[in-house]
Structures are given as C-alpha cells and as structure tokens.
Amino acid sequence: MQILKRCFILLMLVLPILLVGQMPSASVKGKIIDAKTKESIPLANIILRSDSGIVKYGTTGDFDGNYILRNLVAGTYKMEIDFAGYNKSIIKKLVLLKDSTVLRNIELSENSQELLEVVLMYDAPKSERSHTVYYIDGIKTNASQSVFYETPNAESYQSLPENKFFSPLEKPLSTFSSDVDVAAYANMRRFIMDGQLPPQDAVRLEEMLNYFNYDYPNPEKGKSFSVNTQLGECPWAKGHQVLQIGLNTEKLEIENIPAANLVFLLDVSGSMSSADKLPLLQKSMKMMVHNLREKDNVAIVVYAGNSGLVLPSTSGNQKEKIIAALEELQAGGSTAGGAGIELAYKVAQENFKKKGINRVILATDGDFNVGISDNDQLVKLIEEKRELGVSLSVLGFGTGNLRDSKMEKLADKGNGNYAYIDNLLEAKKVLVNEMGSTLNTIAKDAKFQIEFNPNKVQAYRLLGYENRQLADEDFNDDTKDAGDIGSGHSVTVLFEIIPVGVKVGEKLLGGKGVDPLKYQKSKKESKTTNSQELATLKIRHKKPGKIRSELDIKVIDATMDNTNTDFDFMLSIAQLAMVLKDSEYKGESSFESLLELAKKGKGRDENGYRAEYLRIVSLAKDIYSEQASKK
C-alpha cells in the first residue's frame, strides 16, 4: 500500500512535466510585407496545418500587415501565408518548442518561397490541461473547424438574362431604378481569393461599378446630386461607343448626419458559427459602434430558434456597454429570421426619431429557415415598415448558406443597402468610411429614363441593372418605389452604343434580323435630323420627407469626349464582369485588355481599392487560365 502511494505521488509530480508540451501557450507574431516595395500587406491569410494537412490554427493580418497566433500547442506544423496577387509563402516545417515568443516577418513576392525550418522557443505554461485545445485567433474552437471559407454548397443567386441591344426606333426609352448596392463585388472577390471563379449569376456588373468612387464633382447648392457624362470608344467591340452617366451626392461628415435610431438584427443561429460569420460580424459591428455619437441610439436583437432583445436602445456614448453585448453573442440554434425582424421593427418604432434616421441593420448569412421564411410575406412586412419611416439594410457574411437573391430583395424593398462583408477591410469601408452614405438618404426613389436619338444611335444596350428595370410609365409615377441614394454615394451607368452607319451583326439584334420598318421612318424626319444630340437623360427623385418627385433633364451631345482615367477603369470593370459571366456581348474582352485599362485608370487611389482590384484581376486571370487548360 505504501508503495502504491509513493507511485501515485511520483506520477502527480511527473505528469505536469509530461503534459507541458500539450498546453496551448506559445505565440508567433510578425508582419506581412511586399518583398519588392517593403510595404505592408493588409489582411493576409495565415494558417498552420498538421503534417496530415488538417488546419489547426489560423488568423488574418490586420490593416497594417501585423499578425499574431496565440495559444499554440507544441508540435510540428506547416505554415502557409497567402494573399491575392502574391504567390503563397510556405514554411514546410515549423517546430514549436517551449519557452519564448518568436517574431517572424514574412515577405510575399511573385516567386514562391519555401523556408525549410523554423524552431520556436517559448515560455513554459503556468496552467495545466490534460487535453488538446485548439484556438482560432485566440478563440477556442474544434480542431476540425475550418478557419477560412467553406466550400459553397447551398448558396442561391437570382438568374436573370442579360440586357439586349434595342433599336431606338423600336424601343426609344430605357427606364430603370438607381442602385447603390456593392455586395456583388465583395462576393466576387471572396470567390477569387478562395481560388475559384464566382458563379455567373453572382456577377452583377452595376454593383461592381458602384463599388468604387469616381472623380465626380459635388452637386451645386440646392441640388441633391451632380450629373456627369462621358462618351468614348468601346474597347471590346470595334466601331461601338460607350456612354457613361454618373450621379454624385455630397459626402457629409459623420457629425453632420442626423441622429440615428439603429437596431442591429444579428443572426446567431448554428449556421453562423464559423470564423468568417459571427466572429467577423462581431468585429465589424464593434468598428461601427466606435463612430456612434451621443445622439445616436443602438439596440441589439438576435434570432436563433427564438428572437430576443439582447440590448435595449442605448445611447451611442455608452460604447463599452454596446460592445460588451456584442462580445457575449454565441452561435447556436435554428434560424427564426422572420420573428427577429418583427421584434427589431417593434424596437425601432418604440424609439423612433422624427427628424432622424430610423434603420434596422440585418446581419446574416441569409439562411432564413424558421418563422416568416416566405419571401412574399417578408417583403410585405418590410414594405409596410418602410412606409412608416423605418428602413432596412442587409449585411451578408460567410459562405455555404448565402441567400444572395433574398438578401438583395429585402434591402431593396426596405429602402436600404445590401453589402457583403468578407473581411475587416470591407467592414471598415462599409460601416466606417461610408457610414454616412450607408445611413443617411439624400435622394429617394431615384429613377433614370433615357431617350436615344435614332439619327445618331442605331442600337443601344444597358450594361447591368437587369433587376432594376422599370416600365416606361413608372418613371412619372411617384407611387412606384425605386432605389435610394445616400450622402457620399455615386451611381454609375454604362450604355454600349452602336452609332448609325456601323454594320450590325444579326445576332446583336435578335439573332435572325428583321426587315426594314416601313412606317417608323417618319420618326427620323423631325427637327432632330441634323442635331448633334445623342440622347436626352431624365432623372426623377424625391428629397427626404417629400412625396412628390423632382425632375432633372440633361441633353447629351454626340461628340466624342476626351475621356478621363476613371472612364478607363470603368471599362475594365465592365469587361471583367462580362468575362466572368461569359457574356455573349463580351466581344474582344480579355484579361489582358482589362488589366491594361485598369492600370491606365488606376489614377488617385486613396484607400488602395483600385490596387486591390488589379491584384484580384491578376489572380482571376490565373484561375481562368488554369480552368481553361483542363477543358
């Protein structure tokens, strides 16, 4: 018996030493930089894999390129550092020993670099555990949980046929709603950075165009927006032209926008558990909270099986209280999206600001499967609340369950914006840099109607805006809903034009061609026969609080302009969208030509969005080429 006691005591003394190597305590940190320029690379992906290839740890760098992996378990790993436009850097053998934290800076370049071995020495842990625990950026998780994007398997996108060419003799008017959504661009970026091309239905040309700011002048005093046009040569179809129309509102500083009554409606269902969903959502919303003012109010409603009020409406100066509520959120349960929306609207109406902004911000992966899941019922509810002055914006997160078409429709009917958040930089862009335009509406129900002169235009085609088409008679009907434009927002529209005298292929005008019209010729015999007018543009919108719209009219000249660098950049984006969609109208579009245009059009790039676009296009080109070689 005495011998057994001694053995037991000895075991208790030795066991902690044996278990030291299994305790998560080491840290690896450093900076990701460009090997050539030595500039920091923001939001690079860093992962540690086991010898068998299973992801064990992962994180992303911050805006300055810094990264840190905490609470690492001793062992041997493979370290991968990846960012769009750069070859992956690989540390083939990363050996973690005990007793210190190691600083490791990583350079990414066009040439893949393989580092053979790094030995880490770190401090012995103070606490004891007898089992292995895995962490993702300091958050405890399961070893088998994916750090980055899951393979999309249940995502849904609306399928719409592309706009066709029309003759102005047969269809003289093109009428459509404005659109300031940008979700399609960020979603496209997510696919490409994950090494695959996006589904064709996920590519919406107008949202890719409107993701970027252009050098449009501010509106004149008393005007809601400025109207800007350019006409230039079409790079993908010889002899064709491209007409660009741009609207721009004046950006207001955050302190100058009206007081906001916000309700965060957050999805905390089981489908939100992965790192690119709820954890990213929490970080994103905390960034927005830091910019709230004392006159703003925020409430937090969650839904997962049952909806609930996590935080009653709270003043924006109580940031610690709001952030603490966000940090307490955990994912689990089924998704009762409809019930959550009803509660969120109830809270918003109870705290309604008569002269302020009243908005519900829904953040979800789009997986509505319990409660009001029927699209028509949800739309009816949202439209009713819209008429009472409470709008709805939608933020999409994550992969695998993304219901893109539903989320876009809800935001559209709620007079709000739809954005997709794939990383913290995008969260900063949408919720911090563009907070004023996201929240504060300047022009309501903005509609376009353009009439082309048949003496100058043989045929025209609107690029994108397929889901924003309106009947011609809706333009003058102030009861018809259309898109809203916020302060600091711009709306860009492109038309491809076939001038009179340019030979038109049969496929462009319906595929089989038609005989010349007999009676429509009389339309040409008018006072515009010798006019240099290309088209007449009409724009209707309502100022906030008004029920009658205002009309702006601009005559567009047929003379070719000296187009600017923004025009080149827009043409690059249009070509990228057509290539990704494999459009029948892409003509001579190619990655080479659109890359050349993007480089010419990069211009002033204050936030680096255009530089990122170049990297994304370069990566998409490689993916496209690889897929083509396998066919």
- Which tops the pLDDT comparison, 92 or 217? 217
Please state the pTM of the whole predicted model. Answer: 0.74
Confidence (pLDDT) at 204: 96
Mean confidence (pLDDT) of the chain: 81
User: In the predicted model, is pLDDT for residue 150 greater than 50?
Assistant: no
Pairing between β-strand 483-486 and β-strand 441-452 as defined by DSSP bridges = antiparallel
Confidence (pLDDT) at 81: 87
Confidence (pLDDT) at 124: 31
User: In the predicted model, is pLDDT for residue 407 greater than 80?
Assistant: yes
Confidence (pLDDT) at 148: 31
Confidence of residue 6 (pLDDT cuts 50, 70, 90): low
Helices and strands, number each (H, E), in the chain: 13, 27
User: In the predicted model, is pLDDT for residue 42 greater than 60?
Assistant: yes
Percent of the chain past pLDDT 90, that is, above it, reads 46
pLDDT in tens, 474-507: 999 999 989 999 888 899 999 999 999 988 766 6
DSSP structure class, residue 37? T
- Which tops the pLDDT comparison, 141 or 496? 496
Mean pLDDT of 348-369: 88
Task: Give the sign of the dihedral formed by CA 195, CA 197, CA 203, CA 206.
Answer: positive
Highest mean pLDDT among 64-78, 138-152, 545-559: 545-559
Confidence (pLDDT) at 118: 34
Confidence of residue 333 (pLDDT cuts 50, 70, 90): low
Confidence (pLDDT) at 146: 28
DSSP 143-190: TTS-SSPPPP-S-B----PPPPPB-TTT--EEEEE-----HHHHHHHH
Q: Computed over its alpha carbons, how large is the radius of gyration of the chain?
A: 28
Contacts of 5-13 with CB under 8 Å at 24 or more apart are none
CA distance 631 to 627: 7
With residues binned 3-state (H G I as helix, E B as strand, rest as coil), the percentages for the chain, rounded to 5, are 30, 30, 40
Mean pLDDT of 602-607: 85
Mean pLDDT of 373-380: 75
Task: Give burial (CB, 10 Å; 0-12/13-18/19+) of 564.
Answer: middle
CA distance 142 to 238: 56
Confidence (pLDDT) at 438: 81
Confidence (pLDDT) at 397: 92
Is the Cβ–Cβ distance between 89 and 106 less than 8 Å?
A: yes
3 state DSSP class of 210:
coil
Mean pLDDT of 585-589: 94
Confidence (pLDDT) at 506: 60
User: In the predicted model, is pLDDT for residue 120 greater than 50?
Assistant: no
Pairing between β-strand 357-364 and β-strand 441-452 as defined by DSSP bridges = unpaired
CA distance 610 to 615: 9
CA angle 400/402/403 to nearest 5° reads: 140
User: In the predicted model, is pLDDT for residue 16 greater than 70?
Assistant: no
pLDDT in tens, 455-476: 999 999 999 999 999 999 999 9
**In sequence order, what E strands does 234-367 have?**
241-248, 260-267, 297-304, 306-315, 357-364
Tokens matching residue 603: 């211009």
- Which tops the pLDDT comparison, 97 or 175? 175
Q: Where do the domains of the chain lie, and which CATH numbers do they carry?
A: 17-141 (2.60.40.10), 173-252+442-508+530-630 (2.60.40.1230), 255-421 (3.40.50.410)
Confidence of residue 116 (pLDDT cuts 50, 70, 90): very low
Mean pLDDT of 545-551: 91
User: In the predicted model, is pLDDT for residue 334 greater than 60?
Assistant: no
Confidence of residue 406 (pLDDT cuts 50, 70, 90): confident
How many CB atoms are located within 10 Å of the residue 181 CB? Answer: 24
Confidence of residue 554 (pLDDT cuts 50, 70, 90): very high
Highest mean pLDDT among 356-370, 431-445, 609-623: 609-623
Poorest-pLDDT segment among 16-30, 108-122, 548-562, 579-593: 108-122
pLDDT in tens, 283-316: 999 999 998 999 999 999 988 766 688 999 999 9
Mean pLDDT of 22-48: 77
pLDDT in tens, 168-208: 999 999 999 999 899 999 999 999 988 899 999 999 999 99
Confidence (pLDDT) at 559: 87
How many CB atoms are located within 10 Å of the residue 598 CB? Answer: 23
User: In the predicted model, is pLDDT for residue 97 greater than 80?
Assistant: no
pLDDT in tens, 229-266: 999 999 999 999 999 999 999 888 888 889 999 999 99
Poorest-pLDDT segment among 4-8, 111-115, 269-273: 111-115
User: In the predicted model, is pLDDT for residue 138 greater than 60?
Assistant: no
Percent of the chain past pLDDT 70, that is, above it, reads 79
CA distance 93 to 116: 6
Q: How far is CA 234 from CA 68, 87, 585, in A?
A: 47, 33, 12
User: In the predicted model, is pLDDT for residue 336 greater than 80?
Assistant: no
Look-up of token digits 């038309």: 495
